C-alpha cells in the first residue's frame, strides 16, 4: 500500500521549453502532495506544498511562475517547469500524505536534463 | 529555525558489523521524526515514524529510537543490500502543511 508514481522517470529537453511532471497516489487519497528537488550529493529541498483544490504554497526562493503546480484531484498533482534552463536540471521528487496521517510517501523521482 | 544534522556523513561497515547512525534535531515542537532509505537515482523509501521521546520501532535489521534531542538508527548485522543513504526528517507542530525538513543523510556502504 501507499504507492506513489511519477511520470516521466526522466526527460531531456531543450532550453526554453516547458516540461510537465505528473505525480499520482495509486492506492490512496492524498489531501496534500509535496514537490522536492534534489541536486547530486545533496538532500531533498522542499519546493512547494500542494493541497487539492487550492493554490500551492511555495518555499522561499522558489519562483511560482516558473514552477507551476496543479493539484486537481486527491490522487494527482502536476509540476510544470516553464521555460526550462540548464540550471533547472535536477532530480524532482514528489510525495503524498495520507489523509489524517503525518507520513509522506515518495515517488520514484523524475530526472530532468535541460540542454 | 528547525535544524536537522545527521552524522556521520558516510559510513563503511563490514558485513555483520553493527553500528548506529545519528540524527540530531532542534525544532519548535516535534510532530514527528521520520527515517527514510534512499537508493541512488530513486525516491526515498519510508522506514519509520517516531512521535515521542522513548519510542522505539524495529524492522528487520533496523531499529530506530528517539530522545528529546536526537534519534538513532541502529543497524544490526548489516548486509550489503543495506547499502544506501539514510535520511532523517522532522515535522514541526508549527507547520500546518506537514512539510518535512530533511538532514543531509548518511551514506552507508556495507562490504562483504
B61-95 pLDDT, tens digit each: 999 999 999 999 999 999 999 999 999 999 988 76
Contact assignment for B87 to A93 by CB distance below 8 Å:
no
Q: Between A51 and B39, whose confidence is greater?
A: B39
CA distance B16 to B76: 7
Contact assignment for A97 to B99 by CB distance below 8 Å:
no
Give, in order, the Cα–Cα distances in Å from B80 to each of B47, B63, B72, B104. 18, 17, 20, 22
Contact assignment for B100 to A46 by CB distance below 8 Å:
yes
Average pLDDT over residues A47-60: 90
Buried b (16+ CB within 10 A) or exposed e, A50-85: bbbeeebbbeeebeeeebbbebeebbbbbbebeebe
Q: Which of A53, A50, A57, A64 minimizes the C-alpha distance to A95?
A: A50
A81-115 tens-digit pLDDT: 999 999 999 999 999 988 777 889 999 999 999 99
Task: Evaluate whether B87 touches B36 at the Cβ level (below 8 Å).
Answer: yes
Shortest alpha-carbon distance between residue A80 and chain B (Å): 19
**A16 has pLDDT over 70:** yes
Task: Evaluate whether A21 touches A92 at the Cβ level (below 8 Å).
Answer: yes
What is the structure's pLDDT at B96? 65
Residues of chain A neighbouring B1 (CB-CB closer than 8 A): none
What cell was used for A103? 507520513
Contact assignment for B34 to A46 by CB distance below 8 Å:
no
Amino acid at each position: 500500500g501507499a504507492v506513489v508514481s511519477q511520470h516521466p522517470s526522466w526527460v531531456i529537453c531543450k532550453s526554453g521549453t516547458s516540461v510537465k511532471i505528473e505525480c499520482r497516489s495509486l492506492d490512496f487519497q492524498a489531501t496534500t502532495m509535496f514537490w522536492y528537488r534534489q541536486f547530486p550529493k545533496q538532500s531533498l529541498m522542499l519546493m512547494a506544498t500542494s493541497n487539492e483544490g487550492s493554490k500551492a504554497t511555495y518555499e522561499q526562493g522558489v519562483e511560482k511562475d516558473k514552477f507551476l503546480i496543479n493539484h486537481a484531484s486527491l490522487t494527482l498533482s502536476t509540476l510544470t517547469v516553464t521555460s526550462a534552463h540548464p540550471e533547472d536540471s535536477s532530480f524532482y521528487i514528489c510525495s503524498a500524505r495520507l489523509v489524517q496521517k503525518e507520513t509522506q510517501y515518495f515517488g520514484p523521482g523524475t530526472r530532468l536534463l535541460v540542454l | 529555525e528547525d535544524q536537522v544534522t545527521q552524522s556521520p556523513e558516510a559510513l563503511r561497515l563490514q558485513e555483520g558489523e553493527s553500528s548506529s547512525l545519528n540524527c540530531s534535531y532542534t525544532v519548535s515542537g516535534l510532530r514527528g521524526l521520520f527515517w527514510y532509505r534512499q537508493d541512488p537515482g530513486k525516491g526515498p523509501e519510508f522506514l519509520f515514524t517516531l512521535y515521542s521521546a522513548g519510542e522505539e520501532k524495529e524492522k528487520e535489521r533496523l531499529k530506530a529510537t528517539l530522545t528529546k534531542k536526537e534519534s538513532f538508527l541502529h543497524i544490526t548485522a548489516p548486509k550489503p543490500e543495506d547499502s544506501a543513504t539514510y535520511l532523517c526528517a522532522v515535522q514541526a507542530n508549527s507547520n500546518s502543511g506537514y512539510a518535512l525538513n530533511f538532514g543531509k543523510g548518511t551514506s552507508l556502504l556495507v562490504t562483504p
